[in-house]
């Protein structure tokens, strides 16, 4: 059978003299660039998310450690035991949250003012290392800190600190 006029027979199919639509590779370069750009965005977003999650996780660990410090501190019978038990409780809590407790700076409550109804305050600070990103040298470590306060138990018998003034406490006046 002979092809109609204007048609050319090739090895397997009949084509017109015009180029076939959708069969060339003009869009391949733009498609490849788009795929690389999206991959770069996903990696960059993952790095930012990891840095954010690291600081949130550190803040949660510091809050828990401060709470444990004050719980142990306010239940102690004397100022030195309060400081020791409080620090031990805070460090145990930090290790439980997977934080290296040697990197944490702990600011103790004032031991001289220890006594019933005295205000105990503790501060914790942790320097979270920055997430390493190739080709970026400007990211610095983040410092995460927390500060909590609590009253020492008014009904507990204890040895008071030398500067404890019952009239100067919240309960005394």
Residue 28, pLDDT score: 64
Tokens for 128, please give them: 């979270």
Q: Going residue by residue through the chain (173 aa), what tens digit of pLDDT does each one get?
A: 666 666 655 555 555 555 555 566 666 666 778 888 888 888 877 877 777 788 889 999 999 999 999 999 988 898 999 999 999 999 999 999 999 989 999 998 888 888 888 888 999 999 887 777 666 666 678 889 999 998 887 777 788 887 777 777 777 65
Residue 124, pLDDT score: 94
- Residue 20 CA to residue 51 CA, distance in Å, equals 51
Containing 142, the helix (H) or strand (E) segment is strand 142-151
Tokens for 158, please give them: 């204890």
For residue 165, which of 114, 93, 129 has the smallest C-alpha distance?
114
Q: CB-side exposure of 101: number of CA atoms within 13 Å?
A: 15
Residue 136, pLDDT score: 65
Residue 22, pLDDT score: 55
For the residues of 16-30, what is the DSSP string, one character each?
Answer: -SSPPTT-S-TTHHH
Phi, psi values for residue 84, rounded to 5° = -65, -50
């Amino acid at each position: 059978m002979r092809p109609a006029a204007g048609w050319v027979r090739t090895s397997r199919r009949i084509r017109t003299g015009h180029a076939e639509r959708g069969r060339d590779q003009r869009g391949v370069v733009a498609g490849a660039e788009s795929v690389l750009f999206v991959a770069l965005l996903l990696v960059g977003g993952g790095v930012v998310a990891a840095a954010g999650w690291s600081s949130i996780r550190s803040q949660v660990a510091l809050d828990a450690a401060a709470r444990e410090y004050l719980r142990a501190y306010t239940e102690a019978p004397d100022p030195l035991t309060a400081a020791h038990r409080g620090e031990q409780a805070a460090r145990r809590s930090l290790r439980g949250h997977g934080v290296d407790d040697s990197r944490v700076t702990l600011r103790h409550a004032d031991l001289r003012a220890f006594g019933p109804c005295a205000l105990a305050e503790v501060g914790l600070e942790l320097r979270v290392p920055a997430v390493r990103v190739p080709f970026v040298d400007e990211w610095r470590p983040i410092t995460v800190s927390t500060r909590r306060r609590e009253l020492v138990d008014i009904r507990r018998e204890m040895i008071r600190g030398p500067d404890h003034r019952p009239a100067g406490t919240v309960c005394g006046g």
